[in-house]
Amino acid sequence: MIKLLSFAILCGLVFGENCTYPTHIRCWTDWFNSDDPSGAGDYERLPRIITENPGKICLKPVDIQARTQPGVEKDVIHQKDAESGFICRNQDQVNKMEKKCNDYRVRFSCHPPFCGGGVCWTKWFNRDRPTGTGDWEVLEPLRAENPGDICDDALYIEVVTADTLTPAISTGEIFHAYNPSYGFACRKKDQKSGYCRDYKVRFGCPCEN
């Protein structure tokens, strides 16, 4: 793993985005809030966020999350993708008393080393087998079954096959979920073969001082 992370750092610093990481390890960046809905809406555009936060986000994220204050009314979202960012337009909010978006913040999923800090890995977990609808290695059930073994703010996830330790990204299977905030899911119905391999997962957490 040290070699893999060293490669990722070299890849990011020397070759920029023109390289392929040897695993499917991902982490989440910090939350960013570059705009508010006082104008035409809340526009959390990726290019602007990268410009305003140099070195804190990768140029080509693989996932995006948007969050507002809990309990607020849901909005009609115009756009949410990792390539462009997030857009909520005030003009689209037709069913609200006040036709105005809530104020959102966003974060992006990247390969190392863009999330910074030291990483400490959990043990491997394999709570499910692909005998039902697929292989579901979901974070919250894993936390419940292994109290104290997984941090509250997991940054990274790594997934390999249980038998040969092949990185999941190298199997050619399609994944329903693969991120450190949810966990991992491979559904049989998404595969041409009609089945999923058996996977195990581990999470990368901030190292305690």
The 10s digit of each residue's pLDDT in 102-155 is 999 999 988 766 655 567 789 999 999 999 999 999 999 999 999 999 998 888
CB distance 168 to 26 below 8 Å: no
User: What confidence score (pLDDT) does residue 200 get?
Assistant: 97
CB distance 118 to 206 below 8 Å: yes
Decide: helix, strand or coil at residue 89.
strand
User: What confidence score (pLDDT) does residue 112 get?
Assistant: 65
pTM given for the model = 0.52
User: What confidence score (pLDDT) does residue 3 get?
Assistant: 34
CA distance 102 to 41: 9
Which helix (H) or strand (E) covers residue 141, if one does?
helix 139-145
Q: 10 Å Cβ neighbour count for 172? A: 10
User: What confidence score (pLDDT) does residue 129 get?
Assistant: 95
Average pLDDT along the chain, 209 residues, taken 10 residues at a time: 36 39 66 91 93 84 85 86 93 82 90 65 94 96 94 88 92 93 95 96 79
Residue 66 pairs with which residues in a beta bridge? 106
CA distance 28 to 74: 24
User: What confidence score (pLDDT) does residue 192 get?
Assistant: 94
SS (H, E, C) 11-54: HHHHCCCCCCCCCCCEEECCCECCCCCCCCEEEEEHHHHHHHCC
